[in-house]
Structure 1
């Protein structure tokens, strides 16, 4: 089989043809990043999303950013609340408010909603964390405010138990679990109160509007997830970092399942969070492994979950060897290609793994092609945001 027969140009027609080739219409179409902040990939993502909205009925976009901050972006996109500058400043974590492609996407989504009745939605689906974590204050107090009495505690009790936020957000806890308050008496009581409030929410769903039900559920799972995460930040066992990685991806997966409830969505995050196989990471002398958000969400959604990994040919001044997957795909006649990995696996025999020359770039693993639905391939990726 000629390698060209496994791929098509990455344009609207190519995206629609790929979707038609799938066994089911995906609820979550994951577009992975081989590296964050690649400008060309962000621009292509915007083109893909515009096509999905205008021709395939997609109405939601989700990105690897703080789920609570994402509410600021969604309010702007759906109602025009705030200004674009303020939203890009306050509505993203991990510096994802700085890329021009993200700014252009938010601007376009707001402009679309101003002209159409069927609103586009914006979601952050990461927890308010990376390896350190935010205070659970926002999630707990917002959930408390949406509930009706009798409540398991007062707002004043919550404030007293939470204390100053900086005792939760100490970044030194990443390497020093003794600095975490996650297993303190206050934190243990907050975990019980969070559980009680989530249970109370279930008894009060009929009195809440659909919008309040959606937000209350988000606050509830975020509060419980953050307190669980802080608890294990205080753990001193060798399993600590692997458990924290798994908890983060589990929180992502729960948020993605909530996004899927709104209908087909484009999801944009790192390949490692979308893959169906186990994530592996070496940390010192430890080999960490855990199931990614995509693997967890895919278990629930089956063939309604689809994963497109991105891959780059030339990255800066690094050109892939011709016997690697990226080297083979560099021979395609298009600058940007959409590759059917099922056919690609038949067309290439045991390609060599590419060695990354930059810690932030993760090449395709040839052994995992069978767990990927497609590859978005850029022959060159040279501009960083």
Structure 2
């Protein structure tokens, strides 16, 4: 469910109040500033955390709407923290950039999770940096929902240690670390889906490498190398492939958000995929045997009640460059929303009349790094109640690809 780093799998290719005329803006193709002002005002009332989820991380339009809505919440409603799905260490680097202007937005994203390394995300960071320059005593902060994780430099440090202390073991350690460090660019489960996985589970390689490091004569004397190696093992054991599911560490991530919010008192916007921001448990269409799984948003809803608001941004079809996403199956909520022939529109499911019309079990399409058009009918999350899962739906008719940083 959108824990994916690479582009979707598939062949290369040859908006939302439903129907409510006050919301669409056909001239812009997305939602106008006035419409987003109205939406932000509705979201901000008695709200501490707004989860804004996308059905794909590969669309420029879905990112643009999420970013513009975030800016409205910052500018006019006092939201001052952005939570992102990345490690605490990476997010700390992003926070340093937006507060101190260190280096550039692009360089701040060098070690970030692959879906964040886009021109769109760099522009979002630059906007936050500019806002903070104008509001030095009331800045926007960025934090990650994941604990500190291994980074590519940790692998280098381990290999450098072995090269210096036990060069005769270097080839053996390298044979375990070289294949698995590729997961920092293309996650292991995505490699499996795309037929590029070397075969052996990465967590097994990581554990074997740790055992080798521990067996070295001076292992007990170098706590730094052992700590780095444990981070590498933890990274692979807690990956989608290592866990064997897409759910993520929902409790850990939700704790990170709620602990930060309560410690600082700041109003928070949380960016992630709809499977994570959903305020109700979700079932993956790719793994229905696991049944409903708690989401970060569902845990936040239990803790905050209606002070947690869930927004879902989806789309009907489009060319994401690496894959062309067809029109959705008829039983998807995306298809029903797409019956309105407008570039973009939105629904407030908290309104009684709208809830009565649209509530019930629903499937929402998800375009992740393992997406394959040939199994489009399975590429979704399912919820028992659409209105329990999402307070607001934003639907875009047609999308185009994000622009990846080098």
TM range (shorter): 0.5 to 0.7
C-alpha distance in 2 between matches for 1:79 and 1:94: 24
Judging changes above 3 Å, is the alpha-carbon distance between structure 1 residues 110 and 353 closer, same or farther for their aligned structure 2 residues? closer
Task: List gaps (5 residues or longer) in structure 1.
Answer: 139-159, 188-222
C-alpha distance in 1 between matches for 2:361 and 2:291: 26
C-alpha distance in 2 between matches for 1:55 and 1:227: 42
8 Å CA contact 2:97, 2:104 repeated in 1: yes
Judging changes above 3 Å, is the alpha-carbon distance between structure 1 residues 247 and 338 closer, same or farther for their aligned structure 2 residues? closer
**Which residue number in structure 1 is paired with residue 391 of structure 2?**
373
**Which residue number in structure 2 is paired with residue 94 of structure 1?**
114
Shift of 1:70: 1.3
Q: 117-126 or 341-350, which moves further after superposition?
A: 341-350
Q: CA RMSD in A?
A: 4.5
Judging changes above 3 Å, is the alpha-carbon distance between structure 1 residues 292 and 186 closer, same or farther for their aligned structure 2 residues? farther
**Which residue number in structure 2 is paired with residue 68 of structure 1?**
89
Judging changes above 3 Å, is the alpha-carbon distance between structure 1 residues 176 and 47 closer, same or farther for their aligned structure 2 residues? closer
Task: List gaps (5 residues or longer) in structure 2.
Answer: 1-16, 25-30, 156-164, 189-200, 215-227, 320-324
C-alpha distance in 2 between matches for 1:284 and 1:252: 21
**Which residue number in structure 1 is paired with residue 180 of structure 2?**
171
1:338 aligned to which of 346, 349, 362: 346
**Which residue number in structure 1 is paired with residue 207 of structure 2?**
181
1:106 aligned to which of 113, 122, 125: 125
Alignment of 1:120 with 2:146, yes or no, is no
* CA deviation vs aligned residue, 1:279-300 (integer Å, no higher than 9, x gap): 4447889637642222223322
**Which residue number in structure 2 is paired with residue 250 of structure 1?**
251
C-alpha distance in 2 between matches for 1:67 and 1:231: 17
Secondary structure in 2 matching 1:171 = helix
* CA deviation vs aligned residue, 1:58-81 (integer Å, no higher than 9, x gap): 222222222211111111110112
Judging changes above 3 Å, is the alpha-carbon distance between structure 1 residues 134 and 278 closer, same or farther for their aligned structure 2 residues? farther
Judging changes above 3 Å, is the alpha-carbon distance between structure 1 residues 176 and 110 closer, same or farther for their aligned structure 2 residues? closer
8 Å CA contact 1:135, 1:168 repeated in 2: no
**Which residue number in structure 2 is paired with residue 156 of structure 1?**
none
Judging changes above 3 Å, is the alpha-carbon distance between structure 1 residues 226 and 30 closer, same or farther for their aligned structure 2 residues? farther
**Which residue number in structure 1 is paired with residue 50 of structure 2?**
29
Alignment of 1:43 with 2:69, yes or no, is no
Higher relative contact order (CA 8 A, sep 6+): 2
Alignment of 1:310 with 2:313, yes or no, is yes
Shift of 1:110: 1.1
8 Å CA contact 1:7, 1:339 repeated in 2: no
Shift of 1:345: 3.9
* CA deviation vs aligned residue, 1:40-64 (integer Å, no higher than 9, x gap): 1112222112211211112222222
C-alpha distance in 2 between matches for 1:136 and 1:257: 30
Shift of 1:135: 9.2
C-alpha distance in 2 between matches for 1:282 and 1:353: 9
Shift of 1:373: 0.7
Secondary structure in 2 matching 1:278 = coil
Shift of 1:374: 0.9
C-alpha distance in 2 between matches for 1:276 and 1:111: 32
TM-score, structure 2 length as denominator?
A: 0.62
**Which residue number in structure 2 is paired with residue 85 of structure 1?**
106
1:278 aligned to which of 281, 285, 292: 281
8 Å CA contact 1:34, 1:310 repeated in 2: yes
C-alpha distance in 2 between matches for 1:76 and 1:356: 31
Shift of 1:306: 0.9
C-alpha distance in 2 between matches for 1:284 and 1:5: 36
1:286-301 matches, within 5 Å, as 287=290, 290-301=293-304
Q: 119-128 or 60-69, which moves further after superposition?
A: 119-128
8 Å CA contact 1:6, 1:340 repeated in 2: no
8 Å CA contact 1:126, 1:255 repeated in 2: yes
Q: 49-58 or 315-324, which moves further after superposition?
A: 315-324
8 Å CA contact 1:128, 1:134 repeated in 2: no
**Which residue number in structure 2 is paired with residue 8 of structure 1?**
23
TM-score, structure 1 length as denominator?
A: 0.65
8 Å CA contact 2:310, 2:392 repeated in 1: yes
**Which residue number in structure 2 is paired with residue 196 of structure 1?**
none
**Number of residue pairs matched by the alignment:** 317
C-alpha distance in 2 between matches for 1:230 and 1:87: 21
**Which residue number in structure 2 is paired with residue 382 of structure 1?**
400
**Which residue number in structure 2 is paired with residue 241 of structure 1?**
243
